[in-house]
Structure 1
Amino acid sequence: MKTKSVKTFLSAIIVVSVVSSWAHYYVKPIDKAMWLIGTWENKTSRGSVYESWKKINENELSGKSYTVKGADTIIFETVQLKQEGDNLYYIPTVRNQNDGKPVSFKAYTITDHKMVFGNPEHDFPQSVSYRRLNQDSLIAEISGVQNGNVRHETFPMRRLK
């Protein structure tokens, strides 16, 4: 009888150890996106476009894309980067698109340096990605099929703060 109790006790200790070590090393998908926090600039021939990200809570970042014209800030896109369960979603709301409603893109690649989100049902883009080159630079990309043609846009950005 003692041997059964000892085996049960040892089994319980092993299970608790495995679960607690897994929990200790588990990194939530949103945690791999924290490097986005800050303000990024994409210089274009028509001026600069900015993207700013901030942490809302343990499961959400909030972003916005905008330009500055004189004293005016013109926001053309707001984004929620939101973790729901084990899934991470990129949810943009673009002015004058999709009837002003948010569109959800589910992450299908998440590493310490790259995030790729997809929504095959969306008109364009069907894919949105962010690739960190180093601490102060990234490349954002949108791609997909539009009007029967494959389209791909790249936005190199550098961190301002």
Structure 2
Amino acid sequence: MILAMLAAAAVNADVAQLGWLAGAWTQARDGGVVQETWLQPRDGVMAGVSQTNRPGRKPFVEHMIISAQPAGVTFTALIQDQPPTAFVLLPGGDGEFVFENKAHDFPQRVFYRRCGEDLCAGIEGVVKGELKRQEWRYTRVR
């Protein structure tokens, strides 16, 4: 019981390391706007939402959760009309967090890293044998 409590506390602390994501972020590019907002981590959970608006297209909204799970720190994407998709945090570098789900079609990885005062984020994975990658560079709104 004590070991389980210590393990849970360690994973909660790992989620807390992502606290720098908290706040509102935006990127304007090619006439479109992407906004991403994260709440502060609390008790091993962070909640976020992303909204993409592009001229002539329906807005795209994604809800996200970063949470302490038995597999480790997990990023779960919640997209309308799709089942939740979980990505587990890989061991890694300072200031960059890479979540992976090798079984998912695309993306297989979701990443966040600090870019000075900005937030760099992206997704990547292999599609038909070719590496595909999308990246965003957000500035802090508040």
TM-score class, shorter-chain normalisation, is 0.7 to 0.9
TM-score computed with the length of structure 1 as normaliser: 0.71
1:127 corresponds to 2:109: yes
- Give the counterpart letter for 1:61 in structure 2: M
Secondary structure of 1:78's aligned partner:
strand
1:114 Cα deviation from its structure 2 partner: 1.0
1:49 corresponds to 2:50: no
**Residues 56 and 138 (structure 1), Cα distance of their counterparts in 2 relative to 1, 3 Å cut:** closer
Provide the residue aligned with 1:88 in structure 2.
Answer: 73
In 1, Cα distance between equivalents of 2:71 and 2:84: 21
Moved over 6 A (4+): none
State, as a whole percentage, how many aligned pairs show the same letter. Answer: 27
The answer to whether the Cα contact below 8 Å between 1:33 and 1:112 also exists between their aligned partners in 2 is no
Provide the residue aligned with 2:129 in structure 1.
Answer: 148
Structure 2 spans left out of the alignment, 5+ residues? 1-9
In 2, Cα distance between equivalents of 1:35 and 1:122: 27
- Give the counterpart letter for 1:127 in structure 2: R
**Residues 32 and 107 (structure 1), Cα distance of their counterparts in 2 relative to 1, 3 Å cut:** same
Structure 1 spans left out of the alignment, 5+ residues? 1-25
Please identify the structure whose Cα radius of gyration is greater.
1
RMSD: 2.4
Provide the residue aligned with 1:106 in structure 2.
Answer: 88
